[in-house]
């Protein structure tokens, strides 16, 4: 979020259905769709990312995932912002401004900010780590406290990322999107490479009592480089 920590965040995970139209699809998304979604001012500051995982990252259904986009809202009433956005999307579809024959929406969900921002420096955002979790209701409070108080600081202490953000889903139904979302930003270009290096530290954290006490259902994880707008 480039140093911002908005009250609400829309995370859209998408693919292009027709590989031969990838260039056309990205032009539409960058130059037409992003302005359309943000024209009302409810959600702003859109940023798109493209997957950097070797061989691609898949959702729980085995589908390869290529793109992620974030949109930010400053509305205090985040559910109202989500309702307004859906109304705008319906209008855009009626006007034929969606290319449904090529757009594959893998996941689209809105999240509410939790806690303060975890930031160690203000730097350009060239890549991100996106992680989504499904945590049982009886463990939500414990997980949220552990993630904010232990895990996010541990990840930032590796030096790979300079900012972290933590959100909870507005959707009460468990889905691909998960009920918690974490995003870490980096100014480095090889986010996939050093994220694999960071992942090796996990057993050390567990051995030293820094792990979560229960099993974690990680439903989606993606490292991605910035695609649009370019910094």
Q: Give pLDDT tens digits for 46-72.
A: 999 999 876 666 666 677 789 999 999
Number of domains in the chain: 1
Give the three-state DSSP class for 219. strand
Residue ranges of alpha helices (H) inside 20-151 are 22-28, 34-38, 78-94, 140-146
Strands 163-169 and 103-113: antiparallel
Q: Is 126 inside any structural domain? A: yes
Domain membership of residue 104 as a residue range: 8-228
CATH number (domain holding residue 175): 3.30.70.100
**pTM score, whole prediction:** 0.92
Q: Is 1 inside any structural domain? A: no
- What's the pLDDT tens digit per position in 76-124? 999 999 999 999 989 998 999 988 889 998 888 999 999 776 766 678 8
């Amino acid at each position: 979020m480039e140093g911002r920590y908005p009250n609400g965040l829309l995370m859209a995970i998408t693919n292009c259905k027709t590989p031969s139209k990838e260039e056309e699809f990205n032009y539409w998304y960058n130059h037409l769709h992003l302005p359309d979604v943000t024209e009302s001012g409810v959600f702003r500051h859109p940023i798109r990312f493209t997957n950097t995982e070797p061989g691609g990252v898949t959702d729980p259904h085995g589908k390869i995932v290529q793109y992620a986009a974030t949109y930010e809202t400053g509305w205090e009433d985040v559910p109202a912002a989500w309702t307004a956005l859906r109304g705008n999307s319906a209008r855009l579809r009626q006007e034929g401004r969606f290319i449904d024959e090529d757009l594959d929406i893998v996941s689209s969900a809105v999240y509410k900010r939790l806690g303060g921002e975890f930031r160690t420096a203000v730097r350009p955002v060239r890549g991100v780590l996106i992680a989504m979790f499904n945590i049982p209701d009886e463990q939500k409070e414990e997980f949220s406290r552990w993630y904010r108080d232990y895990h996010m600081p541990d990840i930032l202490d590796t030096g790979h990322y300079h900012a972290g953000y933590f959100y909870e889903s507005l959707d009460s139904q468990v889905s691909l999107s998960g009920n918690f979302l974490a995003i870490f930003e980096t100014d480095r270009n090889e986010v996939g490479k050093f994220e694999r290096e960071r992942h090796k530290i996990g057993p050390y954290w567990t051995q030293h009592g820094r792990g979560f006490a229960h099993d974690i259902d990680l439903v989606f994880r993606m490292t991605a480089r910035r695609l649009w707008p370019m910094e």
